[in-house]
Amino acid sequence: MTTKAALVTGASRGIGRAVAWRLARDGYAVAVNARSEAPLRALESELAEAGLRALSVPGDASCSAQVRAMVASALAAFGRLDVLVNCAGIFQKRSLLELDEESWRQMIDAHLTSAFLCCREVAPHMIAAKRGAIINIGSSAARGGTSGAHYAAAKGGVLSLTKALAKELAPFGVRVNAVIPAKIETDMLRPTLSEAESVRRAIPLGRWGQPAEVAEVVAFLASDAAGFVVGASVEVTGGY
């Protein structure tokens, strides 16, 4: 019998992949989502080989029909969803004058629309259960205005969405929080060797963060130990 289950979007690499592993080790049955099916199947197999329960639910998290299908698949397999981690996203650094409308919409959809759609689809099931935890992955760019207007705006929207849903869903026992990473060494953000040292010097802790360190905070926010934590945005930045 499944005692607790989670859905993690953007789980094929980086922070999302680390979160999937961390929650699985905590005893969650984990539905892992991304647009690319092959790395998801590989992750599902790796988790199974470790004796952990996982289900790959590939799809575009910014498409309502596909979100509906992947949530339905997770519920059919596990019978419940206790935790949602919205980690889907893309990164594309461009200046304002380089931005076109398509790039703007792609960024907003990848980060903000996907989080909204997944929250909207999962929330009724959590409300019915009178408990649940939603963790949205933000970025320090939302507060610092770095990495391009489209990326900063998308991540800023994620933080505002978190605050609004935290107030709306808390009366039903559903906790919504955000994690704000910065300078995490992932495939999406990994710099060239020529940039790595200058970036490292800008981090007060003196090193890059690792996806597993973000996953630890996500696991805490998903747990009963964070039962009174609502609407928080927890920084994992090394002081950046």
| Cross-strand partners of 184 | 209
CB-count burial class (<10 Å; 0-12, 13-18, 19+) for 65:
exposed
Q: How does DSSP classify residue 109? A: I
Q: How does DSSP classify residue 51? A: T
H-helix segments, 53-203? 64-78, 101-108, 114-129, 141-144, 149-169, 193-201
List of domains in the chain = 5-236 (3.40.50.720)
Closest CA to 31 of 88, 83, 109: 83
| pLDDT per residue as tens digits for the range 112-130 | 999 999 999 999 999 999 9
State the catalytic residue, choosing from 21, 78, 151, 208. 151
Q: How confident is the model at residue 6 (pLDDT cuts 50, 70, 90)?
A: very high
| Whole-angstrom distance, CA of residue 115 vs CA of residue 112 | 5
| pLDDT per residue as tens digits for the range 76-87 | 999 999 999 999
| Whole-angstrom distance, CA of residue 164 vs CA of residue 61 | 20
Has 151 been annotated as catalytic? yes
pLDDT at position 1 = 58
More confident residue, 146 or 186: 186
